[in-house]
Structure 1
Amino acid sequence: MEIKSVCVFCGSRMGARPDYLEGAKTLGTELARRGLSLVYGGTSVGLMGAMADAVLAGGGKVVGVLPKMLSDREIAHKGLTELHLVDSMHTRKAMMAQRADAFIAMPGGVGTFEELFEITTWAQLGIHHKPIGLLNVADFYAPLLALMRRAVDEGFIPETRAQPFACETSPAALLDQLLKVGQPLAPPKPVLRPEQT
């Protein structure tokens, strides 16, 4: 599958470390340099806005998707290639998923976690076969990776799904991985009833 667009989930705040802002800008610059379009949540604030600004400054294309109810609170970005104001968070996530060929989660809050887990769940269910990556700036996602490992050890996630996403600290290295990955997760095997075995 050729990757032409990348959906990025990240914070609508800057976070406590300058590394997070630098990571967002570097990722945006790298997307533009590679001719990859950015699909994201459509706001002008926080890491989201900084990343979109970096893509645009590099001559890249940015598609924003923002619920109308958040257009004032999150402040819609006025300079995007495309800005879609939609009716709900569900529509927002569905449109971002449809418009993207790959997904990256940067540091962020509960909304970022929810988006990452939903898109990962969809991959596990075979709803999509698009690669997913974590941009692990300042080791932000170390606790999540440990939690995933715990869930495997406790029998809630199969060993084959222990690492459902690529994970890198460098935007360039992460994009390299995503661009060479075809299917990060194998489609789930059907569950057979006893009479079928």
Structure 2
Amino acid sequence: MEEKHRYILEKNRGLILNDLDVEKINNYLIQEFIFTPDQMQKIIGKATRKERAEFLLDSLPRQDQRTFYVFLETLRITYPHLYDVLLIDSRNVSSVPKQPVQCTENQFMMSESMKEPSAYEPEVDHASRRLASQNERVSERDLARVASHLSGDFNIIAGMLGLTSAELYQSQVQHQHSVKDQYFAILYTWRRKNGYAATKANLVRLLQEMNVDCSVYDFLFM
């Protein structure tokens, strides 16, 4: 497996472990010759669902170059929210960071502190700060602010966010007396399903595809 794909699996390991049941995808992985039946039996033989998922994630990087894409395909129908997260990362990640994902903020701070010292730096590097902000996971407060200004066809917006009809129905029923709460509910569901891929940049991209006025989201990069 390519180093980039190993990184993506490790980056989303917690999200995958929370949901993945190996027994729902094992036959396809055998069918596509990623694992032999004996290898898969060792994985399935683990005591708990989480242990099976951990063993699988530990084993996938040792397989051939096709493995990531085959694994992605197994998730497409069975776990569409995991599929979406990994697919977005596979498109957006071009190189593997030198530091772990969890240290992104620290890396930025370290890079700032390693600059050559100067007598006085009154100007803030707004461009760098804005770039770092784009990769932050959007907060619930951000979603609430977007929802308060959002308008348009509720069904279309929910569809563009990748919600299922069941999730759409649930959002409408639970918040039937408040349209703004319905908008927040579908945005929150999108955030939950996409995990660390629910960044400000990805939300803005989706809103732009919906032709949402920029005044609704321009605060995200201030």
Normalization by structure 2: what TM-score?
Answer: 0.29
Of Structure 1 and Structure 2, the greater helix share is in: 2
Greater Cα radius of gyration, structure 1 or 2: 2
